[in-house]
A and B are shown apart, each in its own frame.
Chain A
Amino acid sequence: SQTIHQWPATLVQPVGSPLSLECTVEGTSNPNLYWYRQAAGRGLQLLFYSVGIGQISSEVPQNLSASRPQDRQFILSSKKLLLSDSGFYLCAWSSDYEQYFGPGTRLTVT
């Protein structure tokens, strides 16, 4: 069966510090991978998606970046965090129309 992992589960970082969130998927090959952010009281916003290794598409302009160094690994990064980067970050994978979400990382930028 397929599983999706995210870490860390929670993170508190000061403004201006770097960020690296990791997502890995097990039990499937060549999945589509997605990063979403959910700000407090708001819906999920698609940040990045990837259909293959090294292929990253961005949905919204921001100070975040994403990379896919391996088939089942998706990384979300920032060089300098902003207060507005606080939120619940969710990674998801799909092989067809249905997306499966990871447990999420709650990021608080102070």
Chain B
Amino acid sequence: GQNIDQPTEMTATEGAIVQINCTYQTSGFNGLFWYQQHAGEAPTFLSYNVLDGLEEKGRFSSFLSRSKGYSYLLLKELQMKDSASYLCAVSYGSNDYKLSFGAGTTVTVRA
């Protein structure tokens, strides 16, 4: 089975940096996704890590350590529109690419 843990809530100030950690235990690991989900909407893709290391994409970066079962999403220069839930998801299985999601971290950005 899959077990994915991430903090429930985080609060940060506009312009600051926030790091959302995710730990996982899974079999048949393919890679790790981060999705952003605004209230009442579908998740949208942020990043996908397969190999160890840091992937940078604009204000968002994602890190993966496969040996430690650990990932983080780094949000820089926070904006009010970044207030959302951030979902850590592990891809597992062959050919069918199933996703197992964490419960999500609600980030609130304050002025």
Chain A residues engaging chain B, CB cutoff 8 angstroms = 32, 34, 36, 41-46, 49, 51, 57, 59, 88, 90, 94, 96-104, 106
Q: For the complex formed, measure the closest distance between the CB of A86 and the CB atoms of chain B, giving whole angstroms.
A: 15
Which residue of the partner chain B has the closest CB to A92? B99
Bound: A101/B100 CA distance, A:
14
From B4, B31, B95, B98, A46 is in contact (CB under 8 Å) with B98
Residue in chain B with minimal CB distance to A59: B98
Interface residues of B, CB < 8 Å — how many? Answer: 25
- Our count of residue pairs bridging A and B at CB distance below 8 angstroms stands at 57
Partner of B103, one of A36, A42, A88: A42
B91 within 8 Å of A (CB atoms): yes
Query: Taking beta carbons and an 8 Å cutoff, which residues of B are in contact with A?
Result: 4, 30-31, 33, 40-45, 48, 50, 87, 89, 91, 95-104
The answer to whether B45 and A98 have CB atoms under 8 Å apart is yes
Tell me whether B45 and A45 are in contact (CB under 8 A). Answer: no
- The answer on a CB contact under 8 Å between B42 and A94 is no
**B91 / chain A contacts, CB cutoff of 8 Å:** 97
Least Cβ distance of B44 to chain A in Å? 8
Known: A42-B103, A43-B87, A43-B102. A97 touches B97 (CB 8 A): yes
> CA of A101 to CA of B38 in the docked complex: distance in angstroms?
13
From A6, which residue of chain B is reached at the shortest CB distance?
B42
Q: List 29 A-B pairs, Cβ < 8 Å.
A: A32-B96, A32-B97, A34-B99, A43-B4, A43-B101, A43-B104, A44-B43, A44-B99, A45-B101, A46-B99, A46-B100, A49-B98, A51-B96, A59-B98, A88-B40, A90-B42, A96-B97, A97-B31, A97-B97, A98-B33, A98-B45, A98-B48, A99-B33, A99-B97, A100-B45, A101-B43, A103-B41, A104-B42, A106-B40
Residues of B within 8 A of A99 (CB): 33, 97, 99
Q: How far is the CB of B32 from chain A (nearest CB, A)?
A: 10
CB distance from A12 to the nearest CB of B (A): 16
